[in-house]
Each structure stands twice: as structure tokens, then as C-alpha cells.
């Protein structure tokens, strides 16, 4: 139980394009999902908290117009990196909690490379 999927697993795009990443909880409903960014050999940095049916809560320093988050259902949250630039290249990981509590289960991550 508590399986989280993420799609795509990796994407290469040209600078200036937008990229959408999907995060799904497969066997549970998640009122809250989280989006993280992880640079090589570094820790998980929380970007935003995605709440079903309401606006996402962004961490300080994260541009909400750059990283659009939509949580339209209890099993799906999407992160759109708009007008991507090479500095946006990173490993993006989502997580979800099955009971609106603290226990988070992570997706497999999406490796984004912007050329």
C-alpha cells in the first residue's frame, strides 16, 4: 500500500518550453501532496505544499508563477515548470500522505534536463 507514481521519469526539453510533471497516489487518497527539488548529492528541498481544491502553499524563494501546481483531485497533483531554463534542471520528487498526517510516501522522481 501507499504507492505514489510520477510521470514522466525523465524529460529533456529546450529552454523556454514548459514541462508538466504528474504525481499520483495509486492506492490511497491524498488531501495533501508535496513537491521537492533535489540537486545532486544534496538534500530534499520542499518547494510547495499542494492542497486538493485550493491554492498551493509555496516555500520562501520559490516562484509560484514559475512552478505552477494544480491539485485537482485527491489522487493527482501536477507541477508545471513554465518557460524552463537550464538552471531549472534538477530532480523533482513528489510525495503524498495517506492520512493527512505526517507520514509521506515518495514518488520515483522526475529528472528534468533543460538544454
Partner 1 sequence: GENVEQHPSTLSVQEGDSAVIKCTYSDSASNYFPWYKQELGKRPQLIIDIRSNVGEKKDQRIAVTLNKTAKHFSLHITETQPEDSAVYFCAASKGGSQGNLIFGKGTKLSVKP
Name the β-bridge partners of 24.
Answer: 5, 76
| Closest to partner 1 by CB, 42 or 83 | 42
Our finding on whether 107 is near partner 1 (CB under 8 A) is yes
Q: List binders of partner 1 among 31-90 (CB under 8 A).
A: 32, 34, 41-46, 49, 51
Whether 23 contacts 6, CB under 8 Å: yes
For the CA atoms of 22, 28, 32, 34, the dihedral, rounded to the nearest 10 degrees, stands at -50
Closest CB 90 distance from partner 1, rounded Å: 13
Nearer to partner 1, 50 or 78 (CB): 50
Contact present, 52 and 74 (Cβ < 8 Å): yes
Q: Which spans of this chain sit near partner 1 (rule: CB under 8 A)?
A: 4, 32, 34, 41-46, 49, 51, 93, 97, 100-109
Amino acid at each position: 500500500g501507499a504507492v505514489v507514481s510520477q510521470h514522466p521519469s525523465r524529460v529533456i526539453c529546450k529552454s523556454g518550453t514548459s514541462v508538466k510533471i504528474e504525481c499520483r497516489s495509486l492506492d490511497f487518497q491524498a488531501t495533501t501532496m508535496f513537491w521537492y527539488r533535489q540537486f545532486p548529492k544534496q538534500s530534499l528541498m520542499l518547494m510547495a505544499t499542494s492542497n486538493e481544491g485550493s491554492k498551493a502553499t509555496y516555500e520562501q524563494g520559490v516562484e509560484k508563477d514559475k512552478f505552477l501546481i494544480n491539485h485537482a483531485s485527491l489522487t493527482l497533483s501536477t507541477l508545471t515548470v513554465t518557460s524552463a531554463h537550464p538552471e531549472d534542471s534538477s530532480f523533482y520528487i513528489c510525495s503524498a500522505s495517506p492520512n493527512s498526517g505526517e507520514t509521506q510516501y515518495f514518488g520515483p522522481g522526475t529528472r528534468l534536463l533543460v538544454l
